[in-house]
Structure 1
Amino acid sequence: MMKIWTLIIAAATLIAAQPAYAETRLALVIGNGNYTAIGALDNTVPDATLMAKTLQEHGFEVTLLTDTAQSDLTQGISQFGRDLRAAGGDATGLFYYAGHAVQSFGINYLLPTDAALIDAADLSLVAVPADAILRQMQSARNKTNIVILDSCRNNPFENVRNLDDNGLAEMNSPTGTFLSYSTAPGAVALDGLDGNSPFTKALAREIPVPGVPIEQTFKKVRVSVIAETAGLQTPWDTSSLTNEFIFAPKAALTAEQVEEQQLWNSVQGSSDPVQVMLFLRGYPNGQYQVEARALLQTLMTAELAPTPEAPPVVVPAPEAALVAAAPQAPSASEEELIAQARRSGTATDYQAYLDAFPQGIFAELARFEVEILAQKSDAAAVAAAEPAPTEPADDQVALNRALVAQSGNDVMGLTFTTPFPVGGPPIEGLSIPEIVMLSPLYSPIEGLPEELWKTQTCSSCHAWTREALCTQGKTYVTAADDSAVSKDHPFGGVFKRGLKGWAAADCP
């Protein structure tokens, strides 16, 4: 007996956990395994159930049908077409099928659980052509459709004369369709030994990965299935998509993350280890710390490596002197100590390296790590102590905060070239492009030596193009609160409020 499950995201707690999707997403998922006249399949219904759950968790309204007879299978496809047409042109439709399927004369047929066949000529009378789903999708005229066929486990009609083709035939699909087969055309797929097929198991694992285009998702599935089946099964796909589709969008960045990203974009191409050190000082626990530390290690190694010198023209030297003058590679014990420090990340191990090799190749890197770890320890101790006085110690910071509090709506609605009417010196009376060419009012990073920032313009620290500033301002507009706007800034909080007002008007 057919079982029908319509999985609609309705619970308030589940809705709250879902990201917002720009388009309506509809899916029809079918799993046929309990066949009456041909061999049963153990994993197809669990496969369909797993896929329905995965799609539901990623914004799809899912109809799940299991063990469908011919009339139920036809009715389910017809209803899916009506739902897709009603959803409009921006909707995304997805059809998934796990079960027996065969091909005859280049046409693929999905087999309902009551399919029984004695003569190949009767195939179209007892099965449902796979093209039926494509016709329903084409009639909906929506932009994006996805068809996934995890079938071809074997040919259940191998004893029927003139029906001995293996696998499925490749289908022609309308524009805007992504077609995926669990195995190559004409080949046989595996049902799986652990409750799910290799294909569906890999697909359910890859769909939740955020920010991956559908083409890359199925490429990763193909690699996984080939590895799991030792090359016996190669998933196949064809695409006529004209729009980008991503199952799981990336989460939106916060205002502070956008600032960090912009600074990292300007630093990651640098060949100056000081720039990378400054970035790590500002974001010691940020989202790019792993990449930044790896880049710093590379730059420090190159910086400290001996520079080859031209050999003297005619200055013979004793062999011992030549050996002493040759550049020395780090010894095994030095490499082991620095490797241990990198693994543990503790100040004790970095200091142990410095004690043993104060002039070693990695000494500067070790000193930097010890300093950073000491700063983290001090900051944690301060946070655990009594709250700091509410009055700021720095007069300039106090003035900037007071100006922010008084600015109100004065900086809302600015254009890119409008002079700031408030903010005090030096930003008052200057426009955004003029302000970003100024030097900071105070250190952008606590403890940074004055010679590294007092004579610099802020545009040299950030990729502050008009587009980047507009993006930064828009994060302030969409932020849940004003915590990012009110955070201290080298030009004071009024500048951030000005960016927010400018971005609120779409950055004129």
Structure 2
Amino acid sequence: MTGFLAKGLFHLFIVATLLSAPARAFAEEDNRRLALVIGNASYGSVSALDNPANDARMISTTLQDIGFTVTMAVDLSQIEMKRAIAQFGRDLRAAGEEATGLFYYAGHGVQSFGNNYLLPVDVALSDAADLDLMAVEAQSVLRQMASARNRTNLVILDACRNNPFEDVPDLNQSGLAEMKAPTGTFLAYATAPGSVALDGQGENSPFTQALVKHITRPGQPVEQAFKEVRREVLAQSAGLQTPWDTSSLVSDFMFVTAPERPILTAAETEELQLWRSVRATRDPVQLMLFLRGYPESAYAEEARAMLAEVMAEELSVGAPAPETSALASTVPDEAETALFKAAQEDGSVTAYEAYLQSFPEGTYAEIAMTEIAALQAGQSTDPIGEGIAPVAEAPSPDPGPEPRQQEAGPVTYASPLVSELSQISGLSLAEIIEQAPMFPPIEGLPESYWKTQTCSSCHQWNRDRLCEQANTYLSLNMQRSLNKQHPFGGVMKRSLKSWAAGGCQ
């Protein structure tokens, strides 16, 4: 290609690139992010390369998509490279101190006497002394950036391929030398100083292919992005190529900023904190209480799924193995029956949904769906599905109604409680959680699962975790749960609320 023709095509390509760049809503911000991308592949006097032109096009498209105004050119002569770098410097200076500049180069590059040189496609060299006359010194890019005095600059060199001048005396060093980064600059190399990078077997180099993948991740700092690039290239090259970077950045930079999180109201913040606390416990009682207090919560679906999972785990412990006969397969097992009875006792949509999530094809599935429909329709009675007889419930121990009491006064972890239930009266919270429940925490739960257990072993309670649950009763949305029966009577919940109100002393 003649110098005149190459020059004409170069200018034509730059104009076409600028005119074809899509308009963006944040044009003012785009003007503060400028990139010059050069890919040299079709060399005349030295070995040609397969991928730099493809790499330049791919990185240009990626940078445009994330808000850069890109000038991209391929197969440039020395004069064209110098003109492009000079124009890039002028544009960067005009953009102001808050601008971000990015220079990307893919192609041949060599080092000599500690300096790095980027090779234009018309380079022809027989003596090392002529290198600075025939090539483009990489330092010239840094000088243009430094003159702009802008906030952030990035230089990315995928130019450490095989040395095309190995036979030239004093030019037999491989790779590039490490450059000093001026303040506010991030320098990235396709491989470590003095090492050779791979051009790649496909259409792009391994380094650039990894680069476009990781710089588009929202909220990832530039340092972390290039760390991920290094890991990926190391894995793909079986440890033969280690991308390198050095930084003197003084401000944070992300290629793509993370989306802004919505500002939560005080009520939403309370709900989120409560959900995090309940989720950490995996306690079915606390999960049920959360769903009762926040049935329309953004976390309700996750809470229902966790409740079904935890209930299935608890009810399946020690359950007998199902029989293999065809008749036995139609008979619900003990765990399914217990969970359905628990849903009937609770009488809420949440409880029936928990059963259906655990046993979507269960024996009582149709009844559960009918109950849900009735509850959602606001009917006072719960219809039974056609042709389905109500399930007879086995009698369970009845501790008897507890007289309505006023809310407990100031309570500490060690102070004795006053209750009409003789088993509870006189015991402290610390002592109660070491007692066995007086009746099943979930109606219908087989005695073998709870009769000899303590509350602390079931809930994995200690003082801190008990305080977390106690604090749930302080929420206005959870007040109605205080009237729900507890295996240690209603005084237990009221005392927990009073204890939490006093700071769990």
TM range (shorter): 0.5 to 0.7
After superposition, residues 172-191 of structure 1 pair within 5 angstroms as 172-191=180-199
State the TM-score, normalizing by the size of structure 1. Answer: 0.59
Q: Which of 169, 174, 184 pairs up with 2:177?
A: 169
Q: Which of 208, 212, 226 pairs up with 1:218?
A: 226
2:31 is aligned with 1:5:
no
SS in 1 for 2:198: coil
Q: How many Å apart are 1:242 and its aligned residue?
A: 1.1
Aligned residues: 361
After superposition, residues 436-447 of structure 1 pair within 5 angstroms as 443=477
SS in 2 for 1:268: helix
Aligned to 1:494: none
Aligned to 2:436: none
2:77 alignment partner AA: A
Query: C-alpha separation between the residues in 2 aligned to 1:20 and 1:353?
Result: 70
2:156 is aligned with 1:148:
yes
Aligned to 1:157: 165
Aligned to 1:271: 281
Residues 288-338 of structure 1: CA distance to partner in whole angstroms, max 9, x if unpaired? 976x78987998799x599xxxxxxxxxxxxxxxxxxxxx7789999xxxx
Residues 212-257 of structure 1: CA distance to partner in whole angstroms, max 9, x if unpaired? 1111111111111111111111101111111111111122334679
2:30 is aligned with 1:45:
no
Query: C-alpha separation between the residues in 1 aligned to 2:132 and 2:204?
Result: 29
Q: How many Å apart are 1:276 and its aligned residue?
A: 5.1
Residues 102-133 of structure 1: CA distance to partner in whole angstroms, max 9, x if unpaired? 00111000000001110011101100111111
- 8 A contact 1:283–1:289 mirrored in 2: no
Query: C-alpha separation between the residues in 2 aligned to 1:71 and 1:380?
Result: 78
2:132 alignment partner AA: S
Query: C-alpha separation between the residues in 1 aligned to 2:320 and 2:243?
Result: 49
2:254 is aligned with 1:239:
no
Query: C-alpha separation between the residues in 1 aligned to 2:34 and 2:164?
Result: 31
Identity of aligned residues (%): 46
| Structure 1 alignment gaps of length 5 or more | 307-327, 335-350, 386-436, 461-508
1:271 alignment partner AA: T
After superposition, the CA RMSD in angstroms is: 4.7
| Structure 2 alignment gaps of length 5 or more | 1-5, 324-328, 343-349, 378-471, 485-492, 501-505
Query: C-alpha separation between the residues in 1 aligned to 2:291 and 2:330?
Result: 22
- 8 A contact 2:305–2:354 mirrored in 1: no
Query: C-alpha separation between the residues in 2 aligned to 1:23 and 1:262?
Result: 42
Aligned to 2:122: 114
Query: C-alpha separation between the residues in 2 aligned to 1:170 and 1:73?
Result: 22
Q: Which of 30, 51, 56 pairs up with 2:64?
A: 56
- 8 A contact 2:165–2:171 mirrored in 1: yes
- 8 A contact 1:25–1:92 mirrored in 2: yes
Cα–Cα, structure 1 residues 354 and 162, in superposed 2: closer, same or farther, change >3 Å?
A: farther
SS in 2 for 1:147: strand
Query: C-alpha separation between the residues in 1 aligned to 2:481 and 2:33?
Result: 54
Aligned to 2:355: 370
Q: Which of 55, 60, 72 pairs up with 2:80?
A: 72
SS in 2 for 1:122: helix
Q: How many Å apart are 1:209 and its aligned residue?
A: 1.0
- 8 A contact 1:264–1:279 mirrored in 2: no
2:101 alignment partner AA: G
Aligned to 2:132: 124
Q: Of the two, which has the highest radius of gyration?
A: 2
Cα–Cα, structure 1 residues 37 and 380, in superposed 2: closer, same or farther, change >3 Å?
A: farther
Query: C-alpha separation between the residues in 2 aligned to 1:181 and 1:122?
Result: 25
Residues 325-365 of structure 1: CA distance to partner in whole angstroms, max 9, x if unpaired? xxx7789999xxxxxxxxxxxxxxxx99984644999x999
Query: C-alpha separation between the residues in 1 aligned to 2:85 and 2:50?
Result: 23
Q: How many Å apart are 1:268 and its aligned residue?
A: 2.5
Q: Which of 24, 34, 59 pairs up with 1:15?
A: 24
Q: How many Å apart are 1:193 and its aligned residue?
A: 1.1
Query: C-alpha separation between the residues in 1 aligned to 2:371 and 2:247?
Result: 54
State the TM-score, normalizing by the size of structure 2. Answer: 0.60
Query: C-alpha separation between the residues in 2 aligned to 1:189 and 1:305?
Result: 59
